[in-house]
Structure 1
Amino acid sequence: MNTVLICGGEIEDSFALSFLDRIRPEYIIGIDRGLEFCYKYNIVPQYILGDFDSISPEVLSYYESRDIPLERYKPEKDATDTRIGLELALKLKSRKIFLLGATGGRLDHFMANLKSLLIPLEQGCQPWILDSQNAITLLDRGTKITKDQQFGKYISFFSMGDRVEGVTLKGFKYPLEDYTLLNSEEIGVSNELEDETGEITFRSGVVLMIMSKDRN
């Protein structure tokens, strides 16, 4: 089951609309200013939440008048709207969660969104942050990537925690063998697939994987 969170960051309309049309998620959760995008394109989320401190009264009134579960939170709270949305998506038994509008603008919001990906990962759910240039996810186990599946030209690997032990990269332009990837280094940046299929394996830790491409 796929769930899309439409967040309040920068949304590139054509990319977001194309993605929604392609995966046709079971659930859409509109989060705070992300409702502006929904309103513009007549998208009706199954759930709505946020503190609504950055949304026009017209848009909020429109959705409040509809029969959609809506949760309003005070701006002064310990969790971000995106984190609350992720927790709701997990209650809905989502197997994959995609965040649109989770990049761009304020870097503190992006970092909070990035760290929040650990919540679904710990519960066996694959999380993704997507925009037109980046596909970002976390890995707690090895995976294979094929050229026809990859997003963009570059694939970068970072340690999400203190370290990742035993990193091995096969099928990449810059291979690694049983390497300890530290949080303080960037040896994994801007790698590329050399074979039709690349594989990353590791013994312990959490890997931050970013597939990316240059802006056209």
Structure 2
Amino acid sequence: MQNNSRHTEENKAGQLAFGKCKNVCILSGGDVNHEFLLEFLQEEPCEQMICVDGGLAHAYALGLKVDYIVGDFDTIDVKVLEYYKKHSKVPIREFQPEKDYTDTDIALDMALSLKPKIIYILGGIGSRMDHTLGNIHILKKALCSQAKTFLLNEHNRISMADHSFAVERSKAFGDYISFLPFTETVKNLTLKGFKYPLEHCTMVNGESLGISNEIVNETAYVEFQEGILLMIEARD
């Protein structure tokens, strides 16, 4: 086991890949509804599970298969960590708490090194708004990869896009869908198939124009020319 605090070393940890896979789940230490987690993993099986610090406790409690453990372990019950050290062969990468990047950020680098099609981050939304916002921000690093990355809990599924895309109503996460500009502007935004359509609009950071829309057609279209768009699919 190795303690590192420099980002170059953190990136090295991210290169400990298992080979290409389809879906990766990052289980972090925020709020996790166990019933939702089990139902989600049944519907969206993940070939690799990376547990981040306190997220390991959720996996332990539910008896989930764990493929990798990472973190500074400042929020995990010592007895849980010791169990995996003594009774499993799961690779563990430990870092000092005094580091430049969050545990979930490091885990995302590791997940991206697997070159998956989809990455799901669960337990990344919680009572610490700074960590929640940080986890939203790290979605940006996945844009240059081929992996679609989602931050989600039982009420929200959050993703980013830097190009036009379509949304199928049958695959939507909830009844409501909101769009916010992650960059200063999102230019020439057109929404088709929504309750509140837009046409050739420049969406400006700091406004609430895109909040709480609904899909009304079988397929809805989100088209824009420039910028990064944050999409939040929500349900009560």
- Please tell me the TM-score bracket, short chain as reference: over 0.9
Instruction: Name the structure 2 match of 1:122.
Output: 144
Q: How many residues align?
A: 214
Counterpart Cα distance in 1 of 2:133 and 2:170: 29
Deviation at 1:34, TM superposition (A): 0.2
Q: Does 1:136 align with 2:161?
A: no
Instruction: Name the structure 2 match of 1:188.
Output: 210
Q: Secondary structure at the match of 1:148?
A: helix
Q: Give the letter for the 2:229 counterpart.
A: V
Q: Does 1:54 align with 2:67?
A: no
Q: Secondary structure at the match of 1:168?
A: strand
- Runs (4+) of structure 1 moved beyond 6 Å? none
Listed one character per residue, the Cα deviations across residues 89-143 of structure 1 (whole Å, up to 9, x for unaligned) are 0111122110010112100000110001111112232110111111110011111
Q: 2:43 aligns with which of 15, 22, 30?
A: 22
Listed one character per residue, the Cα deviations across residues 141-189 of structure 1 (whole Å, up to 9, x for unaligned) are 1111122111111010000111111100001111111111111111000
**Superposition pairs for residues 83-94 of structure 1, below 5 Å?**
83-94=105-116
Counterpart Cα distance in 2 of 1:69 and 1:43: 15
Listed one character per residue, the Cα deviations across residues 43-85 of structure 1 (whole Å, up to 9, x for unaligned) are 1311110000111111000111211111000001000000000
Instruction: Name the structure 2 match of 1:201.
Output: 223
Instruction: Name the structure 2 match of 1:102.
Output: 124
Counterpart Cα distance in 2 of 1:40 and 1:10: 14
Counterpart Cα distance in 1 of 2:46 and 2:217: 32
Deviation at 1:196, TM superposition (A): 1.9
Aligned identity (percent) is 39
TM-score by length of 2: 0.89
Unaligned runs of 5+ in 1: none
Moved more, 136-145 or 1-10: 136-145
Q: Secondary structure at the match of 1:117?
A: helix
Counterpart Cα distance in 2 of 1:207 and 1:148: 22
Unaligned runs of 5+ in 2: 1-21
Counterpart Cα distance in 2 of 1:124 and 1:141: 13
Q: Give the letter for the 1:4 counterpart.
A: C
TM-score by length of 1: 0.97
TM-align CA RMSD: 0.9
Q: Secondary structure at the match of 1:39?
A: helix
